[in-house]
Homo-oligomer: A and B are copies of this chain.
């Protein structure tokens, strides 16, 4: 009986049903941890071979290595949320998209941890369209994914554009506020404009949705008690698949992590302005993409951290001997003397975990910290 109560209490820290929706919330340890899984490239499971692994690994390696890595890292990190940032399945090798999706996300579903998905450029290459994939995903257990924003009256480009609000600690002054905002967007697959080569991009309709969502969240946050103007808006994090052209501004010398892709940054061939829209909105502190499996760095452009996760999946191109990896992000609240002991977000840190024997953590760094006005 005690155990049951404890489990219920424990679950309620992360899951608070409000108006029929599960709401994410910081735990009583003042932390919220997000695991990013980029480019699983899942196909058909144990019959699907691995790419770019060591000769000694080839014989026994398959999609199941991806599954095992996902199970292990979830157990090790116990995140509050898992974000899959696209190319979740490698569509052209997946015989049945729904089955591949089910298998790819199985460790997340089994973990009872909330998980969400955005689409990459390969997800739709099997038996489901991009819309079909998102419509399938939202039926799976424990996902907070959405096909598109429920409050959107106008047509929005793509599928899998939505936001997540992470509430402050229950009993603290931030209990009824979102103190950390996640924006998930569909960065498309390929250009549909014949005269523009290459990958897709985030369209004006999506940017308008982001802009109005960010404005609404900032207004709500600043208008209620316990938020102070000097702290600024609640920090935001953006997750999507294809890196922005601004990633290419970063020099290798300013990076934590590496830029091993021979082509550098495989963004769209045009700049659709989403970096500017985020910068103008003011709340997004870091962007997390996948797509370029051999880049795993973070670097700052105009005070926004632009991060890769590095390739996760074994049926995805990689580099033999360079471990598959994932990115962890932890937001930590400020300790306060009153109001339930916890304030708003104080810092956001990140590190990566390698799929070696020890799940070695590398490249730990501070992504953002709240600027305080020094008191005399």
Contact = CB atoms under 8 A, between A and B. Distances in A.
A303 to B, nearest CB: 6
A274 interface: yes
Nearest to A271: B271
B195 A204 contact: no
Contact of A273 (B193, B204, B211, B279): B204
A228 interface: no
Given A204-B207, A245-B271, 4 more contacts: A196-B279, A201-B276, A271-B275, A272-B276
Contacts of A58: none
Contacts of A303: 195
Contacts of A275: 270-271
A208 interface: yes
21 contacts: A193-B280, A195-B279, A195-B282, A195-B303, A196-B279, A201-B276, A204-B207, A204-B208, A204-B211, A204-B273, A204-B277, A205-B208, A207-B273, A245-B271, A268-B276, A270-B273, A270-B275, A270-B276, A271-B273, A272-B276, A272-B277
Interface string A76-96: 000000000000000000000
Interface string A278-289: 011010000000
Contacts of A282: 193, 195
Oligomer copy total: 2
A5 interface: no
A189 to B, nearest CB: 15
Interface string A234-277: 00000000000100000000000000000000001011111111
Contact of A272 (B196, B270, B273): B273
A88 to B, nearest CB: 26
Contacts of A274: 273
Interface residues of A, number: 24
A302 interface: yes
Interface in A279-334: 279-280, 282, 302-303
Nearest to A204: B207
B271 A279 contact: no
Contacts of A277: 204, 272-273
Closest 4 CB pairs of A and B: A273-B273, A272-B273, A270-B276, A271-B271
Which of A205, A272, A274, A279 has the most C-beta atoms of chain B within 10 angstroms of its own C-beta?
A272
A275 B208 CA distance: 17
Contacts of A273: 204, 207, 270-274, 276-277
Nearest to A280: B193
A276 B157 CA distance: 15
A61 B165 CA distance: 62
A204 B201 CA distance: 14
A293 to B, nearest CB: 26
Which of A273, A277, A303 has the most C-beta atoms of chain B within 10 angstroms of its own C-beta?
A273
Contacts of A204: 204, 207-208, 211, 273, 277
A302 B272 CA distance: 14
Contacts of A205: 208
Interface string A192-223: 01011000010011011001000000000000
A193 B272 contact: no
A193 B271 CA distance: 20
